[in-house]
Chain A
Amino acid sequence: MNKDKIIICRCSDVTLEDIHKLLEEGYTSFEDLKRLLRIGMGPCQGQTCAELVRKEIANFLHQKAETVPIHKTRPLTIGVKLRAIAEGAKDEN
């Protein structure tokens, strides 16, 4: 299958080809790829793609996947409406 048809990040429609292109240009950290391609920034926060991207970086650098750092996990774990937070934050007494 063509690399430009293989979607790695479903939130932001990033293909395997997009990733390989940046790796070849020298952007070899997860944090660089995240910032240039939006990988890990969508609603799933990298839950789907992080391990796939890590493997691609590891292959490219000829390293073991475990040695490739991935993105920092940030709150929230799931999207929550601002209004729900505002209401939840009101004093309940």
Chain B
Amino acid sequence: MKTNIVIIGAGISGVSIAYNLAKMGQKGIIVIDKSYMTSGATGRCGAGVRQQWATKSNCEMAKRSIEFFEIAEETLQYEGGIEFKQEGYLILATNNEEVEQFKKNVELQNSIGIASRAITVDEALKIVPHLNPDSFLMATFCPTDGHLNPFLMTDAYYQAAKRLGVDFHFFENVKEIVSEHGQVQKVITDQDTYKTNIVVNAAGGYAREIGLMAGVEIPVYSEKHEILVTEPISRIQGPMVMSFSKNIYCQQVPHGSFLIGRGDPTVPHDHDITSTWHFLDEMAKTVADILPKIGELRVIRQWAGSYNMSPDKQPIISDVPTLEGFFLACGFSGHGFMFAPMTGILLSEIILKKPTTLDVGDYHLHRFKTNTIRETEKSVV
């Protein structure tokens, strides 16, 4: 079969790229996913969206993406609604180093128009009364950060892309990518062969493997992150509560449940996504410390997913200098959901050789080879 563009992966990145390419007038777009929609990180994620980052490019990506989320239902004509809860992120500083870093972060964020601010423990307690006041020194708060339903957001892009003519193939596994004379030629799956000159690697945790199929080395790896959900209760918490040093994020979703998760720096770099009792033990202790009241809630389910990590914890949204027609949207390092609206716009502009809406220099694959990493993101859980 002959087609113009093949996108590998129907997670939030793949559907956003497909939608934006189609909106820019491209025809003959096929999205291939080896499983069901949102089976990768997208359907496993905390789906928090925040602008409180430590690098300028991440701040810009997040700010513009949130501006899109605000109008996504109308823009994508999604009837069901995406459950956007825009009640902020409250980020706790628990040591002096964080206090200093957070002050710098707020300055940077304010300089590009993000409405974050440093607040005292008392001010934080007014926003989230059930915080343990002894567990942190100060906090930062940005009221326009928030949370969405990742399934519905992905479905909204998927349906809009379908209306624009994009073809989706689920339960089809990409096995091989054939190139000749430095140009992509074919994608071979377990079901078909597609002749195409443009291939997008949006394969999330498997981005490295897809790169290798095309002979392209992408320095990313997958890392397990675990998460749990509690029984639903009536609304008591507006913002996401987060601490980098205590390794926790905790959000009450509109349905009433709490989503609570963290990473474990000692896990091996692989595709393991099994749940562990160790996570449950450690997470429960942190909750009891910072948010004692939440400790009274029952955990009803736990699961895990892969972060696709890059060396500077910033995404790779890029062409590939050594292989014409091969494009990358990966290495999101735990923040690919909230960046997806901009990922879709920027990668479409790169593919169509248009001027990009934002400077994408920080996100080019080349930075790792030439050792020109500009900045490393520190504000991650």
Contact B231 A43 (CB under 8 A): yes
The answer to the question of A82 belonging to the interface, with a C-beta cut-off of 8 Å to chain B, is yes
Count of interface residues, chain B, beta-carbon cutoff 8 Å? 33
Q: Hey, which chain A residues are within 8 Å of B36, CB to CB?
A: 29, 31-32
A-B contact count (CB 8 A): 76
Complex Cα distance A60/B32, Å?
24
Chain B residues with Cβ below 8 Å from A80 are: 298-299
Known contacts A74-B303, A85-B280: A79-B298 contact under CB 8 Å: yes
Q: How far is the CA of A79 from the CA of B296 in the complex (A)?
A: 11
Residue of B nearest to A42 (CB): B300
Inter-chain contact B295/A36, CB cutoff 8 Å: no
B135 to chain A, nearest CB (A): 14
User: Which parts of A40-93 form the interface with B (CB within 8 Å)?
Assistant: 41-43, 45, 74-76, 79-83, 85-86, 88-89
Does A89 lie within 8 Å of B282, measured CB to CB?
yes
Decide if B295 touches A76 in the complex (CB within 8 Å).
no
In the assembled complex, A38 has its CB within 8 A of some CB on chain B: yes
Contact A36 B155 (CB under 8 A): yes
Are B300 and A43 in contact, CB atoms less than 8 angstroms apart?
Answer: yes
Inter-chain contact B299/A82, CB cutoff 8 Å = yes
Please state if B151 and A35 are interface contacts (CB–CB under 8 Å).
yes
Judged by a CB distance under 8 angstroms, whether B160 is at the interface is no
Q: B interface vs A, CB < 8 Å?
A: 36-39, 43, 151-152, 155, 170, 229-231, 255, 275, 280-285, 287-288, 292, 294-303
| Interface pairs (19), CB distance under 8 Å | A29-B170, A32-B36, A35-B37, A35-B43, A36-B155, A43-B231, A43-B300, A74-B275, A76-B300, A79-B231, A79-B299, A80-B299, A81-B297, A82-B294, A82-B298, A83-B292, A83-B296, A85-B281, A89-B285
Interface residues of A (CB under 8 A from B): 29, 31-32, 35-36, 38, 41-43, 45, 74-76, 79-83, 85-86, 88-89
